[in-house]
Structure 1
């Protein structure tokens, strides 16, 4: 695996309700306890313009958003995120943890919206100037389980979360295909495992990556 900068870039991917935010927070806490500098961020969002675009594309009430417009909004948010937040942090030597990255667009718009995974990947690689994670942690969640998780306590679903389970099944399969194509760049874990067990396996993989890159010392 090629380390692209002084820092380390880790993306958390998976269907809605997989527990990405929880595991990113656990990993950040573990790494920061060692004196390592960690930046946690998310997509869509991460920048002022990105947060506005997040609202437009995820909140209900903005009217119909066609698939091409949806894909372009996500790509625009990601371009700002990569250029304004992720690259500068990596250049400083930080460990960047992002909740979603390019794979989400490939899965949701490429497969789920049937725009074509390669077309969506090409768009986003252009938007990010080719910036790729050093590791992608994929939390694999069954669509029905994901819906139970994200609606617990009467939580409201956003525009994409509220899509039918069939849509989320397409997304799940796309994520798994992405990981199968480049297994060395992914850690795939079943989301139903206990939070602590998932956290331990993720930290072990990141420790190995830090050791191989010489970045494990604070």
Structure 2
């Protein structure tokens, strides 16, 4: 890669982040070296230390930055008030769209938790729990108002997030389903689960059946 003019500044920092995400997603954190990262960006290895002290700090910064972006985007997307069903719909639509758009960051955020040192891991786990709590609050509210029928909202929270987040490992933009179709299908499944309507959870919404594009996988 051609050398980026200068070894500091927002442009270089963004290039380092993009290259780091790609290298970690492809090779894993343990296998990626700072020499390799610097070569990918086109700068001297020593210039990396203008941005982080060591490789662990770099990984933590990537994952923490992703979690901050996720929280901010969710807060902007969620309805400030309204029915639990409307808020759960908005949450599901947001989560699917975000995880499709930023699949690489999501993958690293899950797969490289094991590579974080204890203090860094604790900080990220706390951020993840805060995100889970936002969904849990919606489910708790829905149960309190009678909109939802859930025996255990904590388990439902984890089940919904596991189902929705898995999309980043298999979804292809050129596949059978558009992002909008995925949002609608997943919303139907999540709402059916929350309402206790298991039989409806796997049904494809009729108005979307004719709008699905050819070929996943």
Q: TM-score, normalised by structure 1?
A: 0.35
Q: Which has the higher strand share?
A: 1
Q: Which has the higher helix share?
A: 2
**If you compute each CA radius of gyration, which structure gives the higher value, 1 or 2?**
2
